[in-house]
Structure 1
Amino acid sequence: MQQLTPAGQNLVNDIASRYNLSTDSVINMLIAVNNGGGSMAQFNCPELGGSGQWMRGGMTMVGDMFNNGLKNTVDNLCNELANALANMEVFPKAPAGTRGSNQWWPSDLGVPFSSGAQNNLRYAIFPNRLAVDINGQVTVYDTLDNNISGVSQQQGGNTSLTFSSQYGTISVSSLPIVSGPGFSPAPAPQTNFLEPLPPVNTPEPVKQNLNTPSAPSTSGSMNLNSSSSNEIIQLIEKLSQLRDAGALTDDEYNTKKTDLLNRL
Structure 2
Amino acid sequence: MPNLSDEGNQLVQDLAQRHGLSIDAVTHMLLAVYNGNGTMAQFSHPEFGGSGQWMRGGMTMVSDLFNNQLKCRVDNLCSDISNALATHQRVPFSGSFQSQNQGGSSAQSQAAGTIGSANSLFVADASSNWWPSEFGPPAAIGSQNNVRYAYFPASRRLAVTTGGDVWVYDTLNHNIGGFSQQQGVGGSINFTSQFGTVDLSTLPVISPAGVPQPSKVASVDNAVSESSCEVNPSPVGPPASPSGQEDILATLDRLGGLKEKGYITEEEFATKKAELLSRL
Which TM-score bucket, shorter chain as reference?
Answer: 0.3 to 0.5
Normalising to structure 1: TM-score of the pair? 0.40
* Higher helix residue share: 2
Normalising to structure 2: TM-score of the pair? 0.38
Which protein is bigger by CA-based radius of gyration? Answer: 1
